[in-house]
Amino acid sequence: MMANKIFVSFHLGGLNMLYRDLDTPALLIDRERLEKNLVYMQSYADKNKVNLRPHTKTHKMPEIAKMQLKAGACGIAVAKVGEAECMAQHGIKDIFIANEIVGKPKLDRIAQLARSGVKISFGVDSVCHITAAEEVFSAYNVSVPVLIEIEVGENRSGIIEDKDFINLLEELKKCEFVKFGGIFSHDGNSYGAENIHQLKEIAQYAQKRTIYFANMAKEHGMICEIVSYGATPTFMNGVEILDGITELRPGTYSLMDASQGNAVGTLDKCAATVLATVISKPTSERIIVDVGAKGLTMQRRTVGICATPGLGTIYEYPEVHIDKVFDEHGIINNQGFHDQIEIGDKLRIIPVHICPVCNLYEKAYLISGDKVVNEIEIACRGKIV
């Protein structure tokens, strides 16, 4: 029943073609694997009695975001104002920008989203973020909540010192138009955990530190409506969610990729692949395919449970990897594999990191078995404006 709710918009009769007949490179999404991933994560959140707010910067597709909402998500997260605008244009009305926002042009656009009826919020970690937002939102006469980001080990943005957190709370108490919505954190350092035991330790520490700041806010008379926490490797490995966390914010789980597959011990959950054509076999071991850095990126994962050989894993032959990329060429060096394929053959490649890969394509092809059943616009790609 859940699957029918999620995929009701995709029963369109298909495109009457096999995916191997597509021109290459092409981004493919396996419908059944996507379905299972969405159902798993929603069930995991439900089991832990917390809300699920998927981070849609992974796929940048309003259609998939709508499926996540149909499955039970409370709203979505995005990385940029442009993504929020795009998702709102496609009818999604509960959006958290999981990033700090600086500059009047972006704050103006957030105010306009709020004025249009979108339930919009965003991250802060400095007093200047709050004062600038208060000035802009007062001019528009709109009220917008913010979430304070907590640094939990990723060594990126976010509050580190207690005193800085208290300063933010005190500044928010002065505001009429910027409201305190809660806190959020991201344990992206879990990608580098050496094993599952260390992954669980990272998750425990990140949650306890997040909850610590939520309790500090309560002591200062500021109730955290939202205590949001996220990173896909922790949730896909079923870590315990502690009391005090109210919301999970994973992104990559929907499509997965080779590094996330390695983190959970199987590539069977990888829903996204890039279809490529073998275009040259210049030596007895070298194979060239027609997708390179501009279709796979140059990203690698070299440490921890997400460590992945090469720059992409061949779906049909998971022991074979893309060894090197040029702009439009992917290089495989494998003598045994060389004799198994011919020029013109098509291969599916599981990207190392799917999030930036989706941003490179204008559309994805939804497949079921060997058939193409729909095209999905990657409507929010490249939204930097």
Q: Does residue 11 have a pLDDT over 90?
A: no
Q: Which helix (H) or strand (E) holds 182?
A: strand 178-186
More confident residue, 104 or 16: 104
Q: What Rg do the C-alpha atoms of the chain give, in angstroms?
A: 22
Check residue 2 and give its pLDDT: 45
Q: What pLDDT is stored for residue 16 in this prediction?
A: 80
Dihedral angle, C-alpha 79, 162, 202, 192, nearest 10 °: 50
Angle between helical axes of 104-115 and 127-140 (0-180°, round to 10): 50
Give CA–CA dist 239/75, Å, rounded: 22
Provide the percentage of residues in the chain whose pLDDT is more than 70: 95
| Contact between 145 and 179 (Cβ < 8 Å) | yes
Mean pLDDT of 76-86: 97
pLDDT tens for each residue of 50-61: 999 999 999 999
pLDDT at 254 over 60: yes
Nearest by Cα to 193 from 203, 181, 180, 179: 203
Taking residues 133-137, report their average pLDDT. Answer: 98
Q: What is the mean pLDDT of residues 27-38?
A: 98
Residue 382 has pLDDT above 90, yes or no: no
Alpha-carbon dihedral angle through residues 187, 299, 370, 67, given to the nearest 10 degrees: 30
List, in order, residues 6 or more apart from 333 with CB less than 8 Å away.
285, 286, 287, 323, 324
Q: Report the pLDDT value the prediction gives residue 383, as an integer from 0 to 100.
A: 55
- pLDDT band at residue 100 using 50, 70 and 90 as cut-offs: very high
The answer on pLDDT for 323 being more than 80 is yes
What is the pTM (predicted TM-score) of this model?
A: 0.94
Segment 252-259 shows an average pLDDT of: 98
Q: Please determine, for residue 10, whether its predicted confidence score (pLDDT) is greater than 50.
A: no
Mean pLDDT of 370-382: 95
Confidence category of residue 14, pLDDT binned at 50, 70, 90: low
Percentage of the chain lying above the pLDDT 90 cut? 94
